[in-house]
Amino acid sequence: MIFDTHAHYDDEQFDTDRQELLSSMPENGVGAIVNVSAAYESCQRVVNLAQKYPFVYAAVGVHPDEVGSLNEERFAHMKELFQNDKVVAVGEIGLDYYWDNESHDVQKQWFVRQLELARELELPVLIHSREAAADTMEIIKAHGHGLGGVIHCYSYAKEQAKEYVKMGYYIGVGGVVTFKNARKLKETVEEIPLTSILLETDCPYLAPSPFRGKRNNSIYIQYVAEEIARIKGISYEEVVARTEQNARQMYGVQP
Ligand code: NI
């Protein structure tokens, strides 16, 4: 079944029909979802949501756009949430020089801090990186070696993807791969082995074609799997089965 490795169902865009939508996932072929926190405030929310549904898991961490709200007290509280056994990763964490909400120094400091947390907890990391390719690579090489995790919503060149794969990281592929102008990502998918690819929505964002611009959800991930199958010249079933296996391996989540 489909494993959505990166979603944001605590987002207010799901306030009107969250329960109905999530309950319908298994009958629509979605077997597991990892709901990922972004802001500090969402860390507790993703844990609560994971406790409600057997097939929903949580990742706890603070997104680079939001790290300005962190301090020692909040970091300590965040750390307590990992005692819940449905929390399976640290994320999403990283660098975002596109929105540039926080200074690069502050972003780097909390990125490294959260990588160290993952090492201490022996959990994989979910990396968000936008227009920060060189600094992200440098920090992962220095602080993320051997950790394991995923470069989520991968947007860089195929050469770097291969380097991450060599370091044991997965490449997260979502709705963008279905866009006509996504040449770079299609090339990356062609180049790296299926054993290093994870499916993700990043919902409510990044809905695949033909729903581009609309609210995304895990059921639409089938369009992503179809496009990967087309690019690699393999079956849809193989893409779904192998990426599920990859995700279960990374998160340590059994069926
Ligand atoms: Ni995300």
Per residue in 113-151, pLDDT (tens digit) is 999 999 999 999 999 999 999 999 999 999 999 999 999
Output the CA 94–ligand 1 centroid distance in Å. 11
Structure tokens at 86: 């449905």
Check: CB of residue 161 under 8 Å from CB of residue 171: yes
Spatial separation of the C-alpha atoms in residues 236 and 223, rounded to whole Å: 10
Check: CB of residue 244 under 8 Å from CB of residue 2: yes
Q: What is the pLDDT of residue 255?
A: 81
Output the CA 133–ligand 1 centroid distance in Å. 17
Q: What is the pLDDT of residue 90?
A: 98
Output the CA 126–ligand 1 centroid distance in Å. 9
Interval 203-215: pLDDT, tens: 999 999 999 999 9
Output the CA 193–ligand 1 centroid distance in Å. 23
Give the list of residues 6+ apart from residue 114 with CB closer than 8 angstroms, or none. 61, 62, 90, 93, 125
**pLDDT exceeds 90 at position 216:** yes
Predicted TM-score (pTM) of the model is 0.97
Q: What is the pLDDT of residue 225?
A: 98
Output the CA 38–ligand 1 centroid distance in Å. 7
**pLDDT exceeds 90 at position 234:** yes
Beta-ladder partners of 36: 59
Mean predicted confidence (pLDDT) in 54-59: 98
Output the CA 200–ligand 1 centroid distance in Å. 9
Output the CA 238–ligand 1 centroid distance in Å. 25
Output the CA 139–ligand 1 centroid distance in Å. 20
Beta-ladder partners of 91: 126
Interval 166-196: pLDDT, tens: 999 999 999 999 999 999 999 999 999 999 9
**pLDDT exceeds 90 at position 58:** yes
Check: CB of residue 64 under 8 Å from CB of residue 101: yes
Interval 10-22: pLDDT, tens: 999 999 999 999 9
Output the CA 123–ligand 1 centroid distance in Å. 18
Count of residues making up the chain: 255
Alpha helices in 101-219 (DSSP H): 104-121, 133-143, 158-166, 183-191
Spatial separation of the C-alpha atoms in residues 9 and 219, rounded to whole Å: 13
Average pLDDT, the chain: 97
Output the CA 132–ligand 1 centroid distance in Å. 16
What is the CA angle 167-169-38, rounded to 5? 135
Output the CA 210–ligand 1 centroid distance in Å. 21
Output the CA 64–ligand 1 centroid distance in Å. 11
Report every protein residue that has its C-beta within 5 angstroms of ion ligand 1: 202
